[in-house]
Amino acid sequence: MRKGLLFSVAVLSILCVAGAVFASDVLVGACIYKFDDTFMTGVRNNMKAEMEKLGGELEIVDSQNKQPVQNDQVDTYVTKGVTALVVNPVDRTAAGPLMEKARAEGLPIVFINREPDAEVMKAYDKIWYVGARAEESGTQSGELIVDYFKKNPDADKNKDGKIQYIMLRGEQGHQDATLRTEYSIKAMKDGGFDVEELGSDTANWDKVQGTDKMKGFIAAVGLDKIEAVLGNNDDMALGAIEALKAEGYNMGDPKKYIPVVGVDATAPALEAMSKGTMLGTVLNDAKNQGWAAVRIAFAAAQGKAIDKEAIGYEVTDGKYVWIPYVKVTAENYKEFM
Ligand code: GAL
Ligand code: CA
């Protein structure tokens, strides 16, 4: 008995000397760019759920859409002695200084959702990024519009062979805004349609701003000219739908319908699809993005190598986990509810 106990104590002290971190010693400090963001709230909830399973501790703070606030939060985490960081930057160009803070302490840091520049990713061996290929979601949302126009020739209201569309863009400088815009337009063209942009503006991922911008476009160009609306995310697409509904559109009368697509597959978007007010969306997989981020932080905090065996996700170039997007249509949306 006594011998056994002494032996365990000895093993334990050797491990401690070697700097081993046990599951129960893991304390991950996470910052989310702002809590008041529908999709990131999904990611955040999935991060919590996964850490509960793993048995470490996770703290998450709201960076309130202010980069200086987030910088201070990271400093506080470092002072507190967290064993790993997960950061959803407010401004992705600020990832460099945050990486430097982590590097100075030898702390693992996992960026999510807003991709740091390649140079930042290369400058440290304990940095990872979890996200999704924005091009993919752009292509898929454009294809939703193409499929609709192919099945419904009357969607080309003025019969000019072109899709007259409105684009509601996400935050300026966000890779998802730039690439979803570019690739959704490309997909419509690749689908065999000429396109004409009737209006395009940023609504900062926000539903209320989406409604306001859409109302402005309706007033400026007229409802009968608009043939499609593409939102870089669901909240803005749902905002546009509110503006259409206020004009009696997308309420069940097939003559008063404009196809609207978004990205994320949030619960309200799937609900809108079930009611027929929204044409389609693209799953931005909050569950797998949240899980992957926490699994990396958890494993890295324990000094483990980050690979498929450790975290259950393919790791590209040793640093990137890419979660696939999935096209959500009238046929499959129920699977995501
Ligand atoms: C995007 C998502 C948006 C918004 C944004 C925040 O991936 O589609 O809805 O959450 O991230 O950075
Ligand atoms: Ca047309």
Q: What is the 3-state secondary structure (H, E, C) of 226-254?
A: CCEEEECCHHHHHHHHHHHHCCCCCCCCC
Ligand nearest to the CA of 204: 1
Q: Which two tokens stand for residue 311?
A: 């975290």
Contacts 24+ apart (CB under 8 A), 49-53: 49/290, 50/290, 50/291, 50/294, 50/295, 51/294, 51/298
Residue 6, pLDDT > 90, answer: no
The domain locations on the chain are 24-132+285-323, 135-283
With the most atoms of ligand 1 within 8 angstroms of its CB, the residue from 176, 180, 202, 322 to mutate is 176
pLDDT band of 16, cuts 50, 70, 90:
very low
DSSP helix/strand/coil, 110: strand
Ligand nearest to the CA of 165: 2
Mean pLDDT in residue range 84-110: 98
Task: Report the pLDDT value the prediction gives residue 14, as an integer from 0 to 100.
Answer: 47
Tell me whether the CATH fold assigned to 24-132+285-323 matches the one assigned to 135-283. Answer: yes
Residue 10, pLDDT > 80, answer: no
Does CATH number 3.40.50.2300 belong to domain 135-283?
A: yes
Q: Determine the residue type at 9.
A: V
How far apart CA 66 and CA 173 sit, in angstroms, is 15
How far apart CA 183 and CA 235 sit, in angstroms, is 19
What distance in angstroms lies between residue 228's CA and the mean position of ligand 2's atoms?
9
Q: Name every residue whose Cβ is closer than 8 Å to that of residue 275 and which is 6 or more positions away in sequence.
A: none
Atom of ligand 1 nearest to the CA of 137: 8
Mean pLDDT in residue range 266-284: 98
The answer to whether the CB of 233 is under 6 A from ligand 1 is: yes
Q: Which two tokens stand for residue 334?
A: 């129920």
The answer to whether the CB of 176 is under 6 A from ligand 1 is: yes
The CATH architecture assigned to 24-132+285-323 reads 3-Layer(aba) Sandwich (3.40)
Mean pLDDT over each residue of the chain, to the nearest integer: 95
Strand order in the sheet with 228-231: 194-202, 162-169, 228-231, 260-261
The answer to whether the CB of 114 is under 6 A from ligand 1 is: yes
The answer to whether the CB of 46 is under 6 A from ligand 1 is: no
How far apart CA 282 and CA 137 sit, in angstroms, is 6
The answer to whether the CB of 149 is under 6 A from ligand 1 is: no
Task: Report the pLDDT value the prediction gives residue 166, as an integer from 0 to 100.
Answer: 99
Start-to-end Cα distance in the chain = 55
Contact of 85 with 112, CB cutoff 8 Å: no
Q: Name every residue whose Cβ is closer than 8 Å to that of residue 303 and which is 6 or more positions away in sequence.
A: 19, 20, 21
Q: What is the CA radius of gyration of the chain?
A: 23
Mean pLDDT in residue range 198-214: 98
Residue 17, pLDDT > 60, answer: no
How far apart CA 172 and CA 202 sit, in angstroms, is 7
What does pTM read for this prediction? Answer: 0.94
pLDDT band of 7, cuts 50, 70, 90:
low
Q: Name every residue whose Cβ is closer than 8 Å to that of residue 55 and which is 6 or more positions away in sequence.
A: 23, 24
